[in-house]
């Protein structure tokens, strides 16, 4: 009995918990810095085209190095037209200028013709897009006119202006205006009805509605048309200059063909492609900046 009472009175010995194992958590992976991200993005977009270009030049060199080849190999092009490549802005007088100056001359004409096409195309397209009847009546005509090749307009423009420079500018305008006009009309036509209701509530006049609601809402469509139009403008000026003459890049290609300078023609084609690429990316970048936060329906 006494032993039982002692067991009840004596406190139980506390149990000592076992020592817990310490688990080392892995350190979080270090995030790449902003310059590393930028460098990786540039490498991902630049290295693949360079590799493909180098491979293409290598194959081209092999195929055109044979004695009976009709086209010059890259090594021969560098030998015969090196000055056009590394010195594009030379000016020896009497029209003997580098390809860089010729490209600038062509770009001046493109700037005028495409600028007119952009302004008129957006304004007329905005007016037509607000009327379903105008859209239905004029859209078939626009679709027919936009399929006319650029050089088909040249005889009419020469007959009308009696001068090569304005004729070339007109060809650029008439070729590039249609995609701008049509895309603007479609964009205005697809503006949600809620935007019109907001304009009525705010009692906006037509000018305020045009700049504050219509143009921002249709901007994705407008810049799609502008991007197509700038490409057509560059195509049109090269084709027009081949026939109208002058000092542009198109006339240089035609003159080089008459002189059997195939190496010069290939270098000029490289200039044309590079400038066209830059123009497209420039309009695309401006469009991405203007239309940020919006998207075409």
Domain holding 125, by residue range, is 105-290
Angle value at C-alpha 290, between 288 and 295, nearest 5 degrees = 65
Instruction: For residue 279, give the DSSP letter.
Output: H
Angle value at C-alpha 288, between 282 and 293, nearest 5 degrees = 170
Averages of pLDDT over runs of 10 residues in the chain (297 residues) are 48 53 57 73 80 90 85 88 85 80 91 95 90 85 88 90 89 93 91 82 81 85 93 90 83 89 92 93 89 57
Q: Please, are residues 244 and 257 in contact by the beta-carbon 8 Å criterion?
A: no
> What are φ and ψ of residue 91, in 5° steps?
-145, 105
What is the pLDDT, as a whole number, of residue 239? 85
* pTM for this model (two decimals): 0.78
Angle value at C-alpha 225, between 219 and 229, nearest 5 degrees = 140
What is the pLDDT, as a whole number, of residue 179? 93
Residue 270 lies in a domain: yes
Instruction: Label residues 157-189 b or e (16+ Cβ within 10 Å = b).
Output: bbeeeeebebbbbbbbbbbbbbbbbbbbbbbbb
Tokens of 178: 């249609």
What is the pLDDT, as a whole number, of residue 8? 46
Burial of 280 (0-12, 13-18, 19+ CB in 10 A): middle
What is the pLDDT, as a whole number, of residue 98? 85
pLDDT in tens, 202-241: 888 878 888 888 888 889 999 999 999 999 999 898 888 8
Residue 34 lies in a domain: no
DSSP 3-state helix, strand, coil percentages of the chain (rounded to 5)?
Answer: 75, 0, 25
Angle value at C-alpha 230, between 211 and 47, nearest 5 degrees = 115
Tokens of 280: 């497209």
Residue 81 lies in a domain: no
Tokens of 177: 């205006």
Burial of 63 (0-12, 13-18, 19+ CB in 10 A): exposed
- 152 alpha-carbon distance from chain centroid: 26
- State how many domains the chain has: 1
What is the pLDDT, as a whole number, of residue 69? 81
What is the pLDDT, as a whole number, of residue 264? 92
pLDDT in tens, 246-272: 788 988 999 889 888 899 999 999 999
What is the pLDDT, as a whole number, of residue 297? 41
Residue 51 lies in a domain: no
Residue 274 lies in a domain: yes
Closest CA to 129 of 217, 199, 190, 49: 190
Distance CA 216, CA 154 (A): 35
Residue 67 lies in a domain: no
CATH number at residue 203: 1.10.3720.10
How far CA 258 is from CA of 33, 119, 251, 252, in Å, comes to: 55, 38, 11, 10
Residue 80 lies in a domain: no
Residue 245 lies in a domain: yes
């Amino acid at each position: 009995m006494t032993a039982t009472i002692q067991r009840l009175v004596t406190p139980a010995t506390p149990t000592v918990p076992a020592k817990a194992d310490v688990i080392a958590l892995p350190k979080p992976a270090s995030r790449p810095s902003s310059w590393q991200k930028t460098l990786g993005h540039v490498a991902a977009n630049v290295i693949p085209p360079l590799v493909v270009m180098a491979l293409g030049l290598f194959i081209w060199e092999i195929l055109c190095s044979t004695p009976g080849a009709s086209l010059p190999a890259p090594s021969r092009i560098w030998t015969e037209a090196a000055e056009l490549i590394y010195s594009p802005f030379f000016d020896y007088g009497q029209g003997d200028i580098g390809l860089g100056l010729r490209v600038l001359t062509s770009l001046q004409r493109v700037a005028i013709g495409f600028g007119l096409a952009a302004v008129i195309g957006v304004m007329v397209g905005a007016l037509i897009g607000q009327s379903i009847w105008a859209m239905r009546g004029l859209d078939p005509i626009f679709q027919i006119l936009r399929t006319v090749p650029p050089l088909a307009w040249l005889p009419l423009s020469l007959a009308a202006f009696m001068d090569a420079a304005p004729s070339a500018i007109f060809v650029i305008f008439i070729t590039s205006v249609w995609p701008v006009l049509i895309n603007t009309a479609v964009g205005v036509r697809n503006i949600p009805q809620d935007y019109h209701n907001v304009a009525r509530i705010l009692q906006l006049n037509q000018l305020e509605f045009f700049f504050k609601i219509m143009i921002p809402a249709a901007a994705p469509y407008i810049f799609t048309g502008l991007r197509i139009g700038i490409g057509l403008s560059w195509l049109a000026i090269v084709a027009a200059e081949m026939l109208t003459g002058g000092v542009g890049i198109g006339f240089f290609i035609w003159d080089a063909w008459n002189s059997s300078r195939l190496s010069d023609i290939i270098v000029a084609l490289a200039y044309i492609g590079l400038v066209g690429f830059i123009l497209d990316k420039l309009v695309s970048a401006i469009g991405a900046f203007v239309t940020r936060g919006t998207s075409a329906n």
